[in-house]
Amino acid sequence: DGGITQSPKYLFRKEGQNVTLSCEQNLNHDAMYWYRQDPGQGLRLIYYSQIVNDFQKGDIAEGYSVSREKKESFPLTVTSAQKNPTAFYLCASSFPGQGGNQPQHFGDGTRLSIL
């Protein structure tokens, strides 16, 4: 079955440590996205990529980095510069659209906590 796989499901970060969240999709989607979800808040866009080797900052990119070397993969690194990283991180993918007219499909998330 096609879908989006995020790993790990739970992740713990020590102070000053960078951690990388994995996102893999086999839906043949060109576009991929990373969101952060905090209690009581909507999903906030961190980074997105419409095509391999290209990506753009979203609304809250500070303290995060991404790469898009393969169509199927879009890993997110939470750096030590992100001072409040505790959140639920969601990866999504979609077919390319005209300004957001395509639905995005989501993985089951990674919950990141501070040790």
Partner 1 sequence: EDQVTQSPEALRLQEGESSSLNCSYTVSGLRGLFWYRQDPGKGPEFLFTLYSAGEEKEKERLKATLTKKESFLHITAPKPEDSATYLCAVGATGKLIFGQGTTLQVKP
Interaction pattern, residues 50-89, with partner 1; x per rule: CB under 8 A: x-------x-------------------------------
Q: Is 16 in the site for partner 1 (CB under 8 A)?
A: no
| 84 Cβ contact partners less than 8 Å away, ≥ 6 residues apart | none
Q: Long-range contacts for 59-62 (Cβ within 8 Å, ≥24 apart)? A: 60/36
Counting Cα atoms < 13 Å in the Cβ hemisphere of 113 gives 4
Q: Which of 66, 87, 107, 112 binds partner 1 (CB under 8 A)?
A: 107
Strands 87-94 and 64-66: unpaired
Scanning 13-21, 60-68, 76-84, 92-100 for contacts with partner 1 by CB under 8 A, the matching segment is 92-100
Interaction site with partner 1 (CB under 8 A): 4, 6, 33, 40-43, 45, 48, 50, 58, 90, 92, 97-109, 111
